[in-house]
Amino acid sequence: MDRLVCFDLDNTLIDRDGAFRSWARWWTNRAGFGTDAADWLVAHDNGGYRPRAELFADFEQRFGAAISVDDYHRDHPTFTWADDAVLTGLAALRSAGWRLAVVTNGTVIQQTGKLTQTGIADVVDYCCISEAVGVRKPDPRIFAVAAQGAGATLGGGWMVGDHPAYDTAGGQAAGLKTIQVGSHHPEPPADHHVPSILEAFPLIR
Ligand SMILES: [Mg+2]
């Protein structure tokens, strides 16, 4: 059976924080606020891990304007993009015989929007979104679901991501080799640490 490469989405395959910044500037500008409102959203976003309802309630208290969570889930994905080199790298892995899965924690509406908008959905075998499958990283069961969805085996596979607990520790718990993307070199140590996704592709063999 074919071997599997799992990829995290946010801040691994795409610059999620950059897209959030663009959305924040667009929303606050449209609502008539200055750059301080966008800067506040970026500063309190916590990489997307802060619950949106909580973030937007605090924003309303401070700036007096309500941001709809539903509108955010619809609008934010339209600010995401994938670099051509990332799409090319994914396509090359697939041509080399790997099965590819995106394994991402998040809501179906938000993550599906990003996967479609960026074109990533078109170049992978399966997109595993935690809300859809009922299990979240770092639970190793989500990687088993990804392998099944992609038609691959976990043995000899890889997990590539930016989060030490969700991606690296989660992948290791599922028996995958791991590549940690980003500037941190935290515990647990991954098999490889690289500054960006582009340096990860040649390590997968
Ligand atoms: Mg991530």
* Tens of pLDDT, residues 187-199: 778 999 999 999 9
Q: Which superfamily does CATH assign the domain made up of 3-15+80-203 to?
A: HAD superfamily/HAD-like (3.40.50.1000)
- Half-sphere exposure of 171 toward its Cβ, with a 13 Å CA cutoff? 30
Q: Calculate how far, in angstroms, residue 18's C-alpha sits from the geometric centre of ligand 1.
A: 13
- pLDDT tens profile 89-127: 999 999 999 999 999 999 999 999 999 999 999 999 999
Task: Measure 32 CA to ligand 1 centroid, in angstroms.
Answer: 31
* Closest by Cα among 155, 201, 161, 156 to 179: 161
pLDDT digits (tens, 9 = 90+) for 19-29: 999 999 999 99
Q: Is the pLDDT of residue 184 over 90?
A: no
In which element (H, E) is residue 103 found? Answer: strand 99-104
Q: How far is the CA of 35 from the centre of ligand 1 (A)?
A: 26
**Distance, CA of 119 to CA of 84 (rounded, Å):** 10
Find the 104 Cα to ligand 1 centroid distance in Å: 8
What type of residue sits at position 22? S
Q: How far is the CA of 64 from the centre of ligand 1 (A)?
A: 31
Q: Where are the alpha helices (DSSP H) in 4-68?
A: 16-30, 35-44, 52-63
